[in-house]
Amino acid sequence: MMKRVWWVLLLLLAAVGSIGWWAVQSVQTAPELGIAQEEENLPPASYPADFAERLGRLRGVNIVLSSEWEIPKNLVWRSGKNEPPLGDSRAVRGGTVRLASPGPYPDNLLVFGSPTPQFLHANIFERVEMPLIEQHPATRHPIPGVAEAWAVQGRTVYFRLHPAARYSNGRPMRAGDYALGALLRAEVGDAGWETLCRVAGELRVYGDSVVALTLREEGPLPELRASGLLHAAEPGFYAEVGGDYAERYAWRVPPTTGAYSVRRVEKGRMVELRRVRHWWAEDLPQRRGTCNVDSVQYYFLTDEAQAWEFLLRGKLDLVQTRHIASWHRYEHTPGLERMEYDTDTPQPPYGVALNARTIPELAVRRGLLAALDMDRAIALIFRGEGRRLQSFFEGYGMLPSQKIQQYDPVRARQCFARAGFSTPGDDGILRRVRDGREEKLSFRFCYVPSEKVSTLVEVLRESARACGAEIVAEPLPWQLCAQQVREGKHELTFWATVPAEPLPKPGRYFSSTARGDEAPFGLTGAEMDAALRECDQATDLPSFAAALEKVDRLICELAVWVPGWREDRVRVLHAPHLHFPKLPGRYYDVTDNPTFWCTPERRGR
């Protein structure tokens, strides 16, 4: 008997030990992630020996390496030095903030050329990386980033880099790093290269200090448009790029010019950003009061319900929601503080995308627009407090509201009848006979299930059935749903994207050459392409707004998008030790810019 007990104990100890070993193996720290140790004042790394030759082979954008003495002498430089600081004077340093990350755990940490889109990249790269310049969230004027000054001459925008700008590995930033970034995008198949080719004609590097981008067309806010197209690459980090790039660099964390860098990963569970020691920009006037906490931990949870559970158990510090039912359930929780505010930022175009390639008949698509009762779905999801989008480009303040299609069963059946679907079957779904074969009016609707979206799909299925159309629900994991959209195999899908700043970029979604995750509509029409060209060729804001209004009208006429809801009312429940600056009125997400801070007594939770 005693021997049996001992054997059981030994087996239990072995099991516990193996679990502990697995847990340790699943946690990756800086050395394992290939993060260079933080140093100060290291010399710059060399560019590839064949750098100029590889640049010369590129087609689409002319990339030229010049010397500093060739910089035009009559440039009028601007610095934005009179713009107010981004942070709050009350902010203090220290502490850890734990947040839930939207989307699935990332497949990689690639900055360039990720085979699949990664939601986390917005948090770990875009929101903490320093752009050349950016738009102040309150004044909407340009402010310095990595560039200390900028100048516009015709269609060319010049950026002069801040002499103190450095990466987190201690190496200085140089203008040539932006040429290297463009080269890498072209060679590893990054979608940003196609965008750069479409919008810009030349990228010129003047020594180490100035980079200039010549846009193909004149247009409003050229300095902000140009800044958003350029991304730097530190040559030492990317010295081993080759045919196995995606595998070799998948979990290497690149040096950052921003205040935070990935320092710890618990695979499948959490990614932690830690503040860069001796961040080069921490004393710049407009960066005071920003990037205050020592670390930000992003936890990957299954859904919002789990995020609420973690918050109530003290394992998260904040939950932000636009789900009114959840808010009413938790808003008065003792020990937590609530915050509500309205934004006037551009809105993500939540709605149903119809694929014109897989549903090619316009009459059928118009029938679907009339058969999908979005208003009823919004009323149920938001308990009467939701508002419907009136335009794909809502929030930019430049468009009148379009007359969107309302639920109309009579009109829906009329449209379907024009396409030949006029005979109901035993199940009430309309049929037609074409080429001797009976066709059923049935459509696949792929989506990533959640409480809101699942409710939406069920309501739309009911409303479509009342109009003689069948909606077959296809709930899929995010990766599979994104793959269907990327490959253009979907018919209907629930879709939205992060709106472009400072101006909308409709060509991403609606041009005949648009592909991938941002182009679920499958349009190929000449009229839409002509309207998009007018947007690209607009030389000022009024002419751009007029061209954009044509695009917005065509979206309605071509019946490829059912407008969903707008989310300008933001509700936040957070731990009392977490504080935020006075909101300037344009934040879509209070965690977009790292201006929050922790009170000292609760640091290190």
What is the per-residue pLDDT across 176-206, written as a single tens digit (0 to 9) for each? Answer: 999 999 999 999 988 888 889 988 999 999 9
340: pLDDT strictly greater than 90: no
6: pLDDT strictly greater than 70: no
3-class state of residue 52 by DSSP: helix
- Per-residue pLDDT tens over the stretch 466-490: 999 999 999 998 888 988 998 999 9
Give whole-number Cα distances, 331 to 11, 324, 572, 598, in Å: 47, 10, 9, 21
**For 306-366, where are the E strands, in sequence order?**
318-321, 337-342, 351-354
Q: Whole-angstrom Cα distance, residue 373 to residue 463?
A: 6
Q: What is the pLDDT of residue 588?
A: 54
When the pLDDT of each residue in the chain is averaged and rounded to a whole number, the result is 86
603: pLDDT strictly greater than 70: no
> Which tops the pLDDT comparison, 445 or 11?
445
2: pLDDT strictly greater than 80: no
Q: What is the pLDDT of residue 31?
A: 56
3-class state of residue 135 by DSSP: strand
The CATH homologous superfamily to which domain 33-87+108-253 belongs is Dipeptide-binding Protein; Domain 1 (3.90.76.10)
Query: How many Cα atoms within 13 Å fall on the side-chain side of residue 444?
Result: 13
Range list for CATH 3.10.105.10 in the chain: 351-566
Q: pLDDT band for position 13 (50/70/90)?
A: very low
Residue among 171, 135, 142, 151 nearest 257 (CA): 171
16: pLDDT strictly greater than 60: no
For CA atoms 130, 136, 140, 146, give the dihedral sign.
negative
Range list for CATH 3.90.76.10 in the chain: 33-87+108-253
> Which tops the pLDDT comparison, 185 or 15?
185
Residue among 209, 186, 206 nearest 196 (CA): 186
- Per-residue pLDDT tens over the stretch 245-290: 999 999 998 898 999 998 888 988 999 999 998 899 988 888 888 8
Residues 6+ positions from 439 with CB-CB distance below 8 Å? 421, 431, 432, 433
Query: How many Cα atoms within 13 Å fall on the side-chain side of residue 369?
Result: 25
521: pLDDT strictly greater than 90: yes
- Per-residue pLDDT tens over the stretch 291-306: 999 999 999 987 888 9
Query: How many Cα atoms within 13 Å fall on the side-chain side of residue 510?
Result: 27
Which tokens hold the place of 177?
Answer: 């790093």
Q: What is the pLDDT of residue 38?
A: 62
Residue among 157, 130, 161, 166 nearest 147 (CA): 161
Q: pLDDT band for position 587 (50/70/90)?
A: low
Residues 6+ positions from 43 with CB-CB distance below 8 Å? 171
Q: pLDDT band for position 346 (50/70/90)?
A: confident
Residues 6+ positions from 20 with CB-CB distance below 8 Å? none
* CATH domain 351-566 topology: Dipeptide-binding Protein; domain 3 (3.10.105)
Residue among 313, 306, 417 nearest 371 (CA): 417
C-beta separation of 107 from 116 below 8 A: yes
Give whole-number Cα distances, 474 to 73, 453, 460, 481, 519, in Å: 61, 12, 13, 9, 20
What single-letter DSSP state applies at residue 125?
Answer: I
> 């100890």: which residue's tokens?
13
Q: What is the pLDDT of residue 396?
A: 80
- Per-residue pLDDT tens over the stretch 213-257: 999 888 888 999 999 999 999 999 999 998 899 999 999 988 989
> Which tops the pLDDT comparison, 548 or 129?
548
C-beta separation of 276 from 260 below 8 A: yes
Residue among 271, 307, 304 nearest 124 (CA): 271
> Which tops the pLDDT comparison, 177 or 122?
177
Q: Whole-angstrom Cα distance, residue 380 to residue 371?
A: 17
Query: How many Cα atoms within 13 Å fall on the side-chain side of residue 253?
Result: 30
Q: What is the pLDDT of residue 27?
A: 66
Q: What is the pLDDT of residue 178?
A: 97
